[in-house]
Amino acid sequence: MLDNVVRFLSLSDANVRFVLLGSLLIGATGGLLGSFAVLRKRSLVGDALAHAALPGVAVAFMLSGSKSLPVLILGATIAGVIGVLLIQLIVNFTRIKADSAIGIVLSVFFGVGIVLLTHIQRTSAGNQSGLDKFLFGQAAAIVDDDLVVMSVLAAFIILAVLLLYKEFKVLIFDSGFMQSMGFSARLVDLALMGLIVLTVMVGLQAVGVVLIAAMLITPAVAARFWTERLHSMVLLSTVFGACSGMAGTFLSSLAPRIPTGPVMVLVATGLFCMSALFGPRRGLVARRLRERGNRQRESIHHLLRACVELEERTRKTAFPREELAGELQWPRRRLRSQVAALQRQGLLARVEGGWQLTGSGRQEGLFVVKSHRLWEHYLVYRDILTTDHVDRPADEVEHLLTPEIIADLEQLLEREQGLDVASIVDVHQGDSLYRRGGQEDG
């Protein structure tokens, strides 16, 4: 194994260089176009086009008798274009939806391709050794001529994306606006599909018909977890695809019998799993942390609001823990943890007779109470809810209202309802005061 590592890192073997560069091109172009395909909801188009290319490979060999990659790619490209046009025709002129049209083209073309490959295998002149590798890929078979073809196609794809980037961006996010500006969304969509066809052709030999769609979809989906911006997603997806190609080549070189294409897909899947877990905004861990933080903030707001309204009602400033627990209907364990959290933040202090809001705690509590009551008044004023059904919605929204929103609510209610926002009172006018647990009246 150590010898294989040294051979790979030194790049002294021409075959290693060819496979590494070819895999890098496949991963990078797949990630580049995959971003647009995923956002345009064309994820399965790459899979359909890969399967549609199989009969093109077979027909090209039958007509030319050559296994040269340019000849086979030309046949695959023609078949892929025919597949794209058939999908568009089915969608435009029938009631069949796009996903069903993709499934039809995928299954029919793939079936025809398998039949043709079987026929070639049985002919005496059809020494088709290598054609079956288009099913699952064989990166080790890449030679310098193949690399030239792949490089030309990759360069063309990158140049086309740079030239049409703005058009693709508008097509993805607002195709109606594109139409209003005089551009044909259908032509731009066909251009995108055509580039997807070429991307599939780049990776067909190394990754194969069955797995090439994964190199289009997986890096792009992984990149989506890390950013909300298109250009960042495109760059990240390209990097993820390129890294998948290089890492797949390295790992497969450690054991020569392991094919490169499937390993590339597994590496891309690993990047996806990592992104799904640790993405800063959409990742599972980040989402769980946000949810935990939101629950903690809501609990703190409930406790602050309970303290302020107890002060209003009892004219006391300190309350024992049992009274707070009864007011909030919380178990003692939960109250104990929240009281400790407020104490650490300097919002609550231990005094004789129980717990008391500090100056900053009272200020924060008054803001929460005001947010709750203003939202209740707004819901009642707009006839959205009646007074006996506004407590729970206000209970949910009070944690989200910002000072800017509060200022807008104050201006609106003061101007249109004549509400004295300087001394905002309970919308229930003392009938229900603080409803425990945000419960509504029957």
- Between CA 177 and CA 164 the distance in angstroms is 16
Asked if residue 323 has pLDDT above 80, the reply is: yes
Map residue 384 onto helix, strand or coil: coil
Q: For residue 138, is it within any domain? A: yes
Q: Which residue has the tokens 């895999």?
A: 23
Which domain-ending residue is among 244, 259, 282?
282
Which domain-ending residue is among 249, 282, 315?
282
Q: In this structure, what is the dihedral angle of CA atoms 318, 323, 324, 328, given to the nearest 10 degrees?
A: -150
Residues 311 and 263 in one domain: no
Residues 120 and 170 in one domain: yes
- Between CA 438 and CA 305 the distance in angstroms is 12
Residues 154 and 254 in one domain: yes
What CATH number does the domain containing 269 carry?
Answer: 1.10.3470.10
Residues 368 and 259 in one domain: no
What CATH number does the domain containing 313 carry?
Answer: 1.10.10.10
Confidence tier at 8 by pLDDT (50, 70, 90): low
Summarised one tens digit per residue, pLDDT across range 408-429 is 888 888 888 887 777 776 665 5
Asked if residue 438 has pLDDT above 50, the reply is: no
Residues 270 and 134 in one domain: yes
Q: For residue 41, is it within any domain? A: yes
Residues 302 and 226 in one domain: no
Q: Could you tell me which of 287, 268, 269 has the C-alpha nearest to residue 277?
A: 287
Q: For residue 287, is it within any domain? A: no
The domain in which residue 424 lies consists of 294-442
- Between CA 138 and CA 16 the distance in angstroms is 13
Residues 63 and 193 in one domain: yes
Q: For residue 259, is it within any domain? A: yes
Residues 35 and 107 in one domain: yes
Confidence tier at 235 by pLDDT (50, 70, 90): very high
Domain count, the chain: 2
Average pLDDT over residues 114-120: 85
**Global confidence as pTM:** 0.77
Residues 164 and 309 in one domain: no
7-11, 154-158, 427-431: which range is least confident on average?
A: 427-431
Q: What angle do CA 43, 113, 87 make, to 5 degrees?
A: 40
Query: What integer pLDDT is reported at residue 379 of this predicted model?
Result: 85
Asked if residue 42 has pLDDT above 90, the reply is: no
Residues 229 and 298 in one domain: no
Which domain-ending residue is among 228, 256, 282?
282
Q: For residue 116, is it within any domain? A: yes
Confidence tier at 440 by pLDDT (50, 70, 90): very low
Cβ partners under 8 Å of residue 206, min gap 6: 19, 22, 23, 26, 137, 138, 139, 142, 260, 261, 264
More confident residue, 56 or 5: 56
What are the backbone angles phi and psi of residue 347, rounded to the nearest 5°? Answer: -100, -15
Q: For residue 407, is it within any domain? A: yes
Map residue 351 onto helix, strand or coil: strand
- Between CA 115 and CA 437 the distance in angstroms is 68
Q: For residue 288, is it within any domain? A: no
Q: For residue 266, is it within any domain? A: yes
Residues 349 and 257 in one domain: no
Asked if residue 131 has pLDDT above 60, the reply is: yes
Query: What integer pLDDT is reported at residue 31 of this predicted model?
Result: 92
Summarised one tens digit per residue, pLDDT across range 242-273 is 999 999 888 888 876 778 888 899 999 999 99
Residues 79 and 210 in one domain: yes
